[in-house]
Chain A
Amino acid sequence: MVSKTFSFKLSGSLIKEDLRRFWTLSVFSLIGYFLSGVFIVLVQYNASKSTDSWTVDNAASFIDSLLSGSYPIFTILTVVTPVIAAAFTFGYLYTNGEVLLKYSQPFTRTVMINSHALSALLLCFMPLVVTASLLLILVHPVYYSESYYSAPSQMTDLYTSSRVLRWFLAQTVCMLFVLSISVFSSVVTGMRVHQIAAAIGFNMIVPATAAIFILYEEAYLFGFDAQDGFNFVLSSSPVLYPYCSDHTGSSVPANLIYLAVGAAIFALSVFLYNIRKLERTGRGVVFDAAEWIIVFVFGLIGMTVVGLTFKGVFGTSPLITVIGYAVGALAAMAVCLMAVKKQLNIFNKHTLCISSVFMVFMFAFLGIMLSGGLGFTSRIPSNPGSVTVRMSNLPPALSDSRNYISYFDTDSSAYSSELDTINFTKKDGINAVEAFHSMIIENEDKCGIPDQSYNFAYPADKSNNGEDMVSVEIEYHRSADAENSPATEVRTYSVPQYLILNGGQFKQMFNSHSYRYLLDDTIKKLSASDITHAKVFNSDDVLNYNFDNGFDIPEGTKLSGLISALREDAENISYDEYVSTVNKDAPGIISFYQESSSVASDQNASKSVKSDDVLTESSISGLAGTELSDGTIEINIVVQPYCTETLKWLSDNLGIDLMSSYGSYYDAVLIHKKDGGSVERYTDDINSEEVTIDDLMNYASEKGIDFVTDQSSVQHDFQKSVSHSVFGSLADLSTEKDDVYYAEFFTTNEDGSLYNAYNAYIKGSDIQR
């Protein structure tokens, strides 16, 4: 009689038996999904009708993160459930009695692994199906509140059936992927503890290994773009993929790749299961190769942790760093080998030989890193179609000329990095960027590693020696359409501001067609006929957020003259003028208001006119400005001190003198001499934020420095002050520029005390005493 099972690839008996024995896993998993997800959705069911925007946004944020796959508790369930399911259904592999019984039964090994894997899948899948069904039943419109978005038109329904189905498919792919790795772990390990550890470890092995290599590249390869690397790390696993910074929802190609990789891992598991030696049951790992892979990964982790720690602590001593790498690797490998072999005596010729091969490989890798990654650090990609440069903490002049909305709009979306992005598509600009890039490479010793957590819209931190640092990201694209062409190579640097301002290459970039175009991009698009009204704010209004103040430009004023003045200023701005306002606030802002329909027609017109130019999404959204709740578009243009024509027009036509109030809010200034190069600051000496005039006078008298309280002199000094970067590095400034002074500006609190509000450098000849 033929066996009931052997002729099938799956055994119904095995599957039924697994489901009968381990159904509780599905129940607990479902309880987890329900309490952490469905129940909260139920509780927040009516939140969208609430008048409290916090309640609305909180519920919307929850649904959004849940359905985008970035809800941490669901992520944990997606990993833990398949890991435990595989541990249960393949649990027979780890006790001798179970192995003997199971393998003496009439199944082929393929049938066994297929059946137990399918059982595990069903155990994981059932709670997911029920959860998805409940989420589908509960579908109702969920939006962020209007206050969440700067433009109401951006509001979209976050809780739709299609989003639930996409979530379900993504979670299914995720579970299949994790389960395939968990099954693989079950096959290669010989003990339950090792199986669970391996199932979790193998799921993280690719991201972890990639992350480690990226850490090395970040540490040793000047210009390496770690953010891009870490996105790769996250995208290497469907579990982490939703947490990618550039993740925009479920991606069909990515999910197909995950499925293919999962299928390949399962096929490998089936192959290994068929050759698995059962006599190795009870060993930590039953395949020697897998044993060594685990040992190598641990060695790599140990090497990295200890080596990079040594590098941080003893950075100046390469020998000690190398010793750190070696000690870390060997110690981690030894401990791991003891764990997988379950014995202390792991030192023999065989293990020493294999460990030596690993060490040779890793030191060869380190050698490559230390020698510049096979030319990576010195290579400038040749013949790019376009180059995108992102910079932060450049003089506000750069961003303020285009960041016309940043003063008003406190919403974070206004601080998008797009506003600091310049696409160089013409030859002159690309050549300038290449020269700029070369300059950075030549000055590697003066540069640092960019802080990846850094938001490009906010001021960057300073280097250890006090230099203002600029985060620079350079993307080389193959095609001229930088917006739609993925970067072929990306470099990120942290470059001293003085190098950028004084090197000449930035000036070359500034004078390129692309850069000049962006400077007056918005102004070119302004049309007087579309503007319903306009308002002028001085710097005092802006600094104090007095946006109810400001000067309403009377109806009937010919705005075309103002727009012409703005255009003329933008076209005539010189590089020296441009950098002269480094790190200073602008004298004023002009706000234009127009109907959204006219903006739309302007955008279309702009696109048709400038299709061959460097028009970018950011410039279009810049023109659109901020959409107000009544549908009006607000476009804000910053007026810099060098906008002479604009200032003149405002004075002549409206009687507004923006420069008269520019810096008027500073009431006193301490002007320090440089003593042998270093600057002694009052705020360094006195650990108090609030001081009195008498305190400062006594301090100035004691130190023999100037203390100016005359309003017009203080204002004059402020208008003349500049960043030290204009003069060069702090080191150069301290030894070569004797005519430069350091100014600490103070402003008055409501209670009459003073506080230090602004610091800058000033030429001796510019000081008004």
Chain B
Amino acid sequence: MITVSNLYKSIDGHEILKDLSFNIGTGSIYGLIGRNGSGKTTVIKHLAGIYKPDSGDISYDGAQVWKNPSIKDKIGYIPDDLNSMLSYNMLNAARYLKGIYSDWDSGILKNLCEAFNLNMNLKFKDFSKGKRKQAAFALMFSMRPKYILLDEPIDGLDPIVRKIVWKVIKRAVSEFGTSVLVSSHNLREIENICDTVGIIEEGRMVMEQKLDNIKNNVHKVQLVLPEKADPKIKLTEAGIEILKAENDGSVSRIVIRGDKNEMKKKIEALDPVVFDVLPMTLEEIFIVEQEADHGVKDILV
């Protein structure tokens, strides 16, 4: 369990993080979403024990991470900026990291290097951006981390490698109870992997929910009521919260918040001519939430 409590950070007089709190459960994947400059990377640098909080706590299973090598030993961190160790090749890097991480597993490295088709003798500076990221993943997984922090992890990765990466992460989560934080502004990627999502805006957490809760709580319906009745009025009279409604000829598409079964019962009671529940992507949900002015502003790409 990773716990972030009331995290506050200002840099050169600018408030970057403001009273930020969230938890990442054991064996779960947390998606941290936000626009560029919202503070995602700063949060991760605190979680990695690189930055010292001005105030607030960050703990891993109760232990502070700041200046705590025993915790850092369990953290796999892939930063967004991979311009480091450029003079190393995979062999050098592995030899160095093997010396400092207690759970190093050379077998994992071998397997992933084969899967990613990485040249062990080529220096990182000669790798493409995508190859560097693959190398970083291979090295990070070889540490057998208990906690994984990924800052914009899939930028530059091709779909096959992404699939491998997420597969390994999911396996680590399910088999070893690894806690994972993924920072991204790509909601489609997060949607397929995360258990919980937090939305950060200007250093504040503006929304945090289990992905299932979000998906179970917001629904899009396609509806035609008898006698050309106005669905917005009828649904509102039935006690259904409408987030968004639009008409396409006689067909209305309405986004509703609430329990799915309860919502179904109330609509069927109106004896609709047409009634379908349509699937919603996470991206659509957040767009609607934003438009409904729940504090989420234009976070999507």
Contact = CB atoms under 8 A, between A and B. Distances in A.
Interface in B74-129: 75, 77, 79, 81-85, 87, 96, 99-103
A5 B104 CA distance: 13
Nearest to B144: A1
Nearest to A107: B69
Interface in A6-20: 6, 11-14, 16-17
Contact of B96 (A13, A97, A98, A107): A13
A312 B34 CA distance: 64
A100 interface: yes
Contact of A6 (B51, B73, B75, B87): B73
Nearest to B87: A21
A276 to B, nearest CB: 10
A106 interface: yes
A132 to B, nearest CB: 32
Nearest to A105: B100
A109 interface: yes
Contacts of A97: 79, 81-84
Given A2-B70, A97-B83, A106 B52 contact: no
A482 B139 CA distance: 73
A96 B83 contact: yes
Contact of B83 (A5, A95, A104, A111): A95
Q: Which of B45, B48, B50, B100 has the most CB of A within 10 A?
A: B100
A17 B79 contact: no
Given A2-B102, A97-B79, A100-B84, A109 B67 contact: yes
Contact of B100 (A5, A100, A274): A5
Contact of A278 (B50, B77, B81): B50
Interface residues of B, number: 28
B77 A104 contact: yes
Nearest to A6: B69
A103 B50 contact: yes
Contacts of B100: 3-5, 11, 13-14, 105-107
Contacts of A438: none
A5 B50 contact: no
Given A2-B70, A3-B69, A3-B102, A100 B81 contact: yes
Contacts of A21: 87
Interface size class of A (residues with CB under 8 A): 20 to 34
A184 B219 CA distance: 60
B49 interface: yes
Contacts of A2: 70, 73, 102
Given A97-B83, A100-B84, A107-B69, A279 B51 contact: yes
Interface string B2-46: 000000000100000000000000000000000000000000010
A100 B79 contact: yes
B81 A96 contact: yes
A95 B86 CA distance: 12
Contacts of B69: 3, 5-6, 106-108, 111
Contact of B84 (A11, A13, A101, A274): A101
Contact of A100 (B50, B99, B102): B50
A277 interface: yes
B131 interface: no
B72 interface: yes
A96 B41 CA distance: 12
Given A95-B84, A106-B70, A1 B102 contact: yes
Nearest to B77: A104
B50 A99 contact: yes
Interface string B223-249: 000000000000000000000000000
B48 A100 contact: yes
Given A17-B96, A100-B50, A101-B79, A4 B84 contact: no
B67 A108 contact: yes
Nearest to A102: B84
Contacts of B79: 97, 100-101, 104
B67 A104 contact: no
B48 A16 contact: no
Contacts of B67: 108-109, 274
A734 B85 CA distance: 82
Contact of B49 (A1, A92, A96, A103): A103
B138 to A, nearest CB: 15
Contacts of A109: 67
A2 B103 CA distance: 9
A2 B63 CA distance: 14
A687 B100 CA distance: 83
A105 to B, nearest CB: 6
Contact of A4 (B11, B68, B99): B99
Nearest to A278: B50
Contacts of B103: 1
Given A17-B96, A279-B11, A100 B73 contact: no
Contact of B75 (A1, A13, A104): A104
B83 A105 contact: no
A100 B49 CA distance: 9
Contacts of A106: 69-70, 72-73, 100-102
A114 to B, nearest CB: 14
Interface in B139-191: none
A106 B103 CA distance: 12
Contacts of A96: 81, 83
Interface in A80-116: 92, 95-109, 111
Q: Which of A13, A274, A279 has the most CB of B within 10 A?
A: A279
A103 B49 CA distance: 7
A234 B100 CA distance: 44
Contacts of A105: 72, 100
A108 B65 CA distance: 11
Contacts of B11: 279
A278 B49 CA distance: 11
A3 B72 CA distance: 9
A516 B51 CA distance: 78
Contact of B52 (A1, A6, A277): A277
Contacts of B49: 103-104
Contacts of A103: 48-50
Q: Which of B75, B83, B84 has the most CB of A within 10 A?
A: B84
A100 B45 contact: yes
B211 to A, nearest CB: 27
B141 to A, nearest CB: 15
Nearest to B83: A97
A101 B124 CA distance: 14
Given A95-B84, A97-B79, A109-B67, 8 more contacts: A1-B102, A2-B102, A3-B101, A4-B102, A6-B69, A13-B100, A97-B83, A100-B45
18 contacts: A1-B73, A2-B73, A3-B101, A6-B68, A13-B99, A13-B100, A17-B96, A21-B87, A98-B84, A100-B45, A102-B84, A103-B48, A103-B49, A104-B72, A104-B77, A107-B69, A107-B100, A109-B67
CB-based closest 8 A-B pairs: A6-B69, A97-B84, A13-B99, A97-B83, A3-B73, A106-B69, A106-B73, A106-B72
Interface of B: 11, 45, 48-52, 67-70, 72-73, 75, 77, 79, 81-85, 87, 96, 99-103
Interface of A: 1-6, 11-14, 16-17, 21, 92, 95-109, 111, 274, 277-279
